[in-house]
Structure 1
Amino acid sequence: MHFSTALSFTLLAGIASANLAVAQSKEIPTDAQTVLKTVRPEAIRNHMRILSNDSLRGRKPGTKGFDMGADYVTNQLKAIGYQPAGENSTYRQDVPLRRWQVREEASTMTFLIDGKEQPLTYGKQFILSPTPDHATSNVTAPVVFVGYGVTAPELGYDDYTNIDVKGKIVAYVNGAPNSFPSNQRAFYSSSKAENAAAHGAIGTLAFSLPSDLRNRIETAAPRARQGIYRWVDKSGKPQRTVPAIQGAASLSDSTARLLFTKSPVPFRDVITNVQKNRSQAFPLNISARIKARTDVVEDVAGYNVVGVLPGSDPALKDEYIVCAAHIDHLGVGRPVKGDSIYNGAHDNASGVAINLEMARLFASLPKAPRRSIIFVGVTGEEMGLLGSDYFASNPTVAKNKIVANIALDMPFFFHPLLDIVPYGAEHSSLGRETEQAAEFLGIKISPDPIPEQTVFMRSDHFSFVRQGIPALFIKSGSETGNPNLDGTKLNLDWRATIYHTPQDDMNQPFDFKAAAKHVQLQFLIGYLAAQADSRPTWNKGDFFGTKFGNQDVVK
């Protein structure tokens, strides 16, 4: 990093919270302006220090450490006057989680080329994803290449044009065309199994471009071998699965090339077409056999923490702005540099800490906002957005009364907050509140600097988007105020060296003044949405509003 921890804390010590800059504006009520000035950088630091302490051992769902973190959040909500909004008049909403794992010794994959079998080596040439809907799978079918595996008619792109994949296995490249807008690119990168099933496929083979080192199976295999989690309904049925897909594999680069042994198009030309965003589909003239055994490994008693600050307007208090951040992290795992506790200070003790301070600002208003404010500390984000998906699918209040979601996860405050990337703001009327709040605080709005990271699909706000609820997910931008410090490089370096390692602890150069500004921004956006006469709406013709928006809910 380019800062020293000691310098960061020295700067923090010199910050008086009342002196945090807040512009004067006739558009922001005086009460809100006054409350904004009371934000406490030291409180954010203290929340983070407690939540990421070694004693919580990484806050993995189902462990004592997660319980300790959830208890801390619950007690903080009680102390500032939030009422229980979980189940049975408590602050808790149970989220039943289950983990599935591939039994490797009972799972194989073979290519059938010119009538000859070519067995592949598990973990080196391929890895299989668990299939929760199928304890055993045995699929043999011809393989069809379908480019990126994307169907996006609104963007004039379809890899399945003029190809029949019913009863077949489809092979596709990870990612989506880089010509797509950032958030649509994220969506289509993450919804390929569903699209394959919709076209009748029964299996999938995924591989990365030779230049894409992030998704190589050498990197993915260790985590893939830990299995997958899903939440289950009351009958024990797993949710967010694709039952039609009976076998799903990821291939190494060399195995992907082998897949094209009999291809009518050379592998190098296929890659060139992919890189030029050209849709393509054709039979590969080989077959694949996938035999898989998927075992239930464990059930986890997950739960969310939910509190509410009731609104003050009799006509609007039964509508809700939901502010979400995930409490969980990865627990204890493989030692890195002599440390095995994955503390998750930035991911996501920081988001919880900022939301707790934001919750306090709402509670400090002389009069509560017109709409009610729900704080939800969710579980299982690291397992696949499970706690937020459970809450958004089974909310503890009427679903059609949840009018907006503002989520926070790893906002990245390692430099002053000069600009933001507000994922989701361009899709709904929440963009207006975002612009107003940012302008008031003197913060610029910037485009996504790392669209290849598909950030829009990777945190809890998307669980609400999927339910047709306008949502925001804000991260700091790349401006640092220092011409010698590249904010994008700093972000990418952190992701490459610290993200999801035990080094994500409090021994990092956090800028708590920037964190406090995140609080002010989140509070002000939520406040403006809570005070507005009309609930937030999707923009006319918006991609996500059209795909997920319920017109009976969003008016």
Structure 2
Amino acid sequence: MEGHACPHEDILETMRKLLVAAALAGCALSPLTAYADAPGQSPAEKADPAAREISADQIEATVQFLADDLLQGRDTGSEYYDIAAAYVASRYRAMGLTPGVDGKWMQDITFRKASPAESTLAIVQDGKAKELELKTDFITGASFTDQLIDMSAPMVFVGQGIHSPENGIDDYAGLDVKGKVVVVVSGAPKGVPGDVAATLSRGKTKVASDMGAVGMISIRSKSAMESLPFEKLVGYIEGHAEKWVAPDGTVVVDAPNLKFSTYLSPEAAADLVDSSGHDLSALLDAYESEEEDAVRPTGFVIPGEVKVKAVSEWEEVTSANVVAVLPGSDPQLADQYVVMSAHLDHVGNHLWEAGEDEDGEPKDTIYNGALDNAAGVATMLEVARVIAENPTAPRRPILFVALTGEEKGLLGSEYMAKYWVREDGEPVGVVNFDMPVLLYDMDDVVGFGAENSTMGETLAAAGAATGIGVTPDFLPDENLFVRSDHYSFVKEGVPALFLMSGVENGGKEAFTNFLKTDYHGPGDDLSQPLNWESARKFALLNYEIVKLTANADARPMWYEGNYFGDKFDPEGPRAPAPAEAAE
């Protein structure tokens, strides 16, 4: 039974299967034989012998290895992740690729685990202190910069805490928050495009810090409470969190002035805001309005002070990005790296969930991550294999990276984007592979980021060549563009593309059902009805994208007037926006 000790014979049998899977995944196919005579080939396969080499069997073998119980869910910093990393490095070596980090395959990263050990919070008004109850009234996350926080400060309500002049929104207008604690409603303004709204929402702690605030009290919006009640939020925050440690030994945080951040329960939040003479429910209703002429509430001072004491415990672990390079053939483009990325980590073995299910059987506690993201790594490795074995080298160099720490908050990719591993060039475009839902016959994909840069035109050309359609985002409320590793590079100004399996042939139902049932759960394992032909088509499309990007005359460019380009790469080259993007 998964998640529990098995008899000696079962261990031997599982090891045998792992060895067979590893051997198959590491063996190169004979040149130009796979699918050579297959009917119904796409134009890409007819024109390019290497495209015909993409193998469903190779992808399946890789997933079988990475998602096996013996790898215990590949948690960042665990020995099981290290086994997976060594496996990926061995695959790189077998392909004839070059180590990507000063002659090594691994970009080692130190991560600090911070856990809240003790937290107290009181609201002091009119000389009286009201003590709030931990996990019932509030929950405070751990600090990565201070193991002991003991402070008091006045409070200011700043609405949703958005400062975005380019969108005509400034919730801080007329407010002095220096040395104070800001009280913020979660979420972002309605009517702002989803990807932009998600960026604004994620950036509000940095904005508060830049404005001089010393702490943040968050109040959940009504829609946020519906999707994630306070009781469940407590479960997420009371555990440890992680950040990477910079080479100089410091932990880099986006909001260094914020000494603490806490969430209030709906009842505690209502008491706090009501004490200022305002009605919290009415304020929250205003933020839910989608009317174009809706008036955003203005900020105000909340009487009294908040008194906080918080203790954090720290532990440091090491994990690595696994990096390889395929040199380009054009000396004029040798410093322009195309990046192929996929996160190798998942969320490990949840031993604390052990017990019996409703049928009296032992619970499965291993979160194998077959689709999230063994399938993405397998796709990357298969694309890397056929590119590396192609006698015609790409014009631009390609950097392949299996990333760590994605499940901890895109940490491995953030570290690589900030501490780029190559002194001989820079990243010019990223193609990211994360969680293709291979549970149906895939005929189309969603291209996150396609509307931002010329990489969208590359996707369209690759789709036409492979016969795979491109579908608009069918889950805009999930804000998937900002939730995978390519976004770390976007924040450093690099155009990026992230593909997800699409909606045709039951794709929408398969994806939404996976999110509800098996995503980040023990059900994302090898028992799922995985469709390996869909995996091959997904790899074929991504191969075509990477090939076109690496061989194009021009590097990927942000479109003129694009929000992400203007925000993160204001001085970079631009391409004219297509008519539909300019409207």
Both structures adopt the same fold (TM-score exceeding 0.5): yes
| Percent of aligned pairs with the same amino acid | 35
Of 106, 113, 122, the residue aligned with 1:110 is: 122
1:230 aligns with 2:243: yes
Q: Report what 2:156 is aligned to.
A: 144
1:183 aligns with 2:195: yes
1:76 aligns with 2:88: no
Tell me if the contact between 1:127 and 1:251 (Cα under 8 Å) persists in the aligned partners.
yes
1:353 aligns with 2:371: no
Q: Report what 1:65 is aligned to.
A: 80
Of 443, 449, 470, the residue aligned with 1:424 is: 449
Tell me if the contact between 1:207 and 1:253 (Cα under 8 Å) persists in the aligned partners.
yes
Of 545, 556, 561, the residue aligned with 1:525 is: 545
Q: Report what 2:278 is aligned to.
A: 265
Of 174, 177, 183, the residue aligned with 1:171 is: 183
Inter-partner Cα distance in structure 2 for 1:356 and 1:121: 50
Q: Report what 1:6 is aligned to.
A: none
For normalisation by structure 1, the TM-score amounts to: 0.90
Tell me if the contact between 2:153 and 2:307 (Cα under 8 Å) persists in the aligned partners.
no
Return the offset for 1:286.
3.3
SS of structure 2 residue aligned to 1:322: strand
Inter-partner Cα distance in structure 2 for 1:372 and 1:538: 20
Q: Report what 1:23 is aligned to.
A: 42
Residues 292, 399 of structure 1: alpha-carbon distance in 2 compared, 3 angstrom cutoff: farther
Q: Report what 1:335 is aligned to.
A: 353
Inter-partner Cα distance in structure 1 for 2:564 and 2:478: 19
1:468 aligns with 2:460: no
Residues 346, 550 of structure 1: alpha-carbon distance in 2 compared, 3 angstrom cutoff: same
Q: Report what 2:8 is aligned to.
A: none
Query: Which stretch shifts more, 414-423 or 278-287?
Result: 278-287
SS of structure 1 residue aligned to 2:182: strand
Tell me if the contact between 1:127 and 1:217 (Cα under 8 Å) persists in the aligned partners.
no
Q: Report what 1:323 is aligned to.
A: 340
SS of structure 1 residue aligned to 2:133: coil
Q: Report what 1:4 is aligned to.
A: none
Inter-partner Cα distance in structure 1 for 2:372 and 2:186: 25
Residues 394, 20 of structure 1: alpha-carbon distance in 2 compared, 3 angstrom cutoff: farther
Q: Show structure 1 runs of 5+ residues with no match.
A: 1-15
Return the offset for 1:413.
2.3
Inter-partner Cα distance in structure 1 for 2:559 and 2:39: 34
Q: Report what 2:213 is aligned to.
A: 201
User: Could you tell me which amino acid in structure 2 is paired with residue 506 of structure 1?
Assistant: L
Inter-partner Cα distance in structure 1 for 2:163 and 2:204: 9
Return the offset for 1:30.
6.5
Return the offset for 1:84.
0.8
Q: How big is each residue's C-alpha offset from its partner over 1:402-453, in whole Å with a ceiling of 9 and x where there is no partner?
A: 1111111112222222332211111111111011111222333222222222
Tell me if the contact between 2:223 and 2:288 (Cα under 8 Å) persists in the aligned partners.
no
Runs of 4+ in structure 1 deviating by more than 4 angstroms, as ranges, are: 28-31, 552-555
User: Could you tell me which amino acid in structure 1 is paired with residue 212 of structure 2?
Assistant: G
1:314 aligns with 2:331: yes
1:370 aligns with 2:412: no
Inter-partner Cα distance in structure 2 for 1:132 and 1:211: 29
User: Could you tell me which amino acid in structure 2 is paired with residue 97 of structure 1?
Assistant: F
Tell me if the contact between 1:22 and 1:440 (Cα under 8 Å) persists in the aligned partners.
no
1:511 aligns with 2:531: yes
Residues 20, 170 of structure 1: alpha-carbon distance in 2 compared, 3 angstrom cutoff: farther
Q: Report what 1:456 is aligned to.
A: 481
Q: Report what 2:106 is aligned to.
A: 92
1:402 aligns with 2:427: yes
Inter-partner Cα distance in structure 2 for 1:509 and 1:271: 43
Tell me if the contact between 1:405 and 1:461 (Cα under 8 Å) persists in the aligned partners.
yes
Of 35, 40, 44, the residue aligned with 2:59 is: 44
Q: Quote the RMSD (CA, aligned, Å).
A: 2.2
User: Could you tell me which amino acid in structure 2 is paired with residue 312 of structure 1?
Assistant: S
Q: What are the within-5 Å matches in structure 2 for residues 207-246 of structure 1?
A: 207-212=219-224, 213-246=226-259
Q: How big is each residue's C-alpha offset from its partner over 1:46-67, in whole Å with a ceiling of 9 and x where there is no partner?
A: 1111001111111112222111
Q: How big is each residue's C-alpha offset from its partner over 1:362-400, in whole Å with a ceiling of 9 and x where there is no partner?
A: 113221110111110111111111111111111211385
Q: Show structure 2 runs of 5+ residues with no match.
A: 1-33, 358-362, 576-583
Inter-partner Cα distance in structure 1 for 2:310 and 2:431: 39
Inter-partner Cα distance in structure 2 for 1:542 and 1:66: 38
Tell me if the contact between 1:187 and 1:456 (Cα under 8 Å) persists in the aligned partners.
no
Q: How big is each residue's C-alpha offset from its partner over 1:101-143, in whole Å with a ceiling of 9 and x where there is no partner?
A: 2212xx2111234443221111122111222122222332332
SS of structure 2 residue aligned to 1:37: helix
Inter-partner Cα distance in structure 2 for 1:268 and 1:61: 41
Inter-partner Cα distance in structure 2 for 1:385 and 1:350: 18
Q: Report what 2:315 is aligned to.
A: 298
Inter-partner Cα distance in structure 1 for 2:314 and 2:39: 50
SS of structure 2 residue aligned to 1:425: coil
SS of structure 2 residue aligned to 1:103: strand
Inter-partner Cα distance in structure 2 for 1:400 and 1:314: 12
Return the offset for 1:208.
1.9
Query: Which stretch shifts more, 146-155 or 398-407?
Result: 398-407
Residues 148, 450 of structure 1: alpha-carbon distance in 2 compared, 3 angstrom cutoff: farther
Query: Which stretch shifts more, 176-185 or 291-300?
Result: 291-300
Residues 513, 263 of structure 1: alpha-carbon distance in 2 compared, 3 angstrom cutoff: farther
Tell me if the contact between 1:59 and 1:343 (Cα under 8 Å) persists in the aligned partners.
yes
Tell me if the contact between 1:247 and 1:290 (Cα under 8 Å) persists in the aligned partners.
no
Aligned length: 528
Q: Report what 1:494 is aligned to.
A: 514
Query: Which stretch shifts more, 241-250 or 408-417?
Result: 408-417
For normalisation by structure 2, the TM-score amounts to: 0.86
SS of structure 2 residue aligned to 1:260: helix
SS of structure 2 residue aligned to 1:331: coil
Residues 467, 554 of structure 1: alpha-carbon distance in 2 compared, 3 angstrom cutoff: farther
Tell me if the contact between 2:120 and 2:310 (Cα under 8 Å) persists in the aligned partners.
no
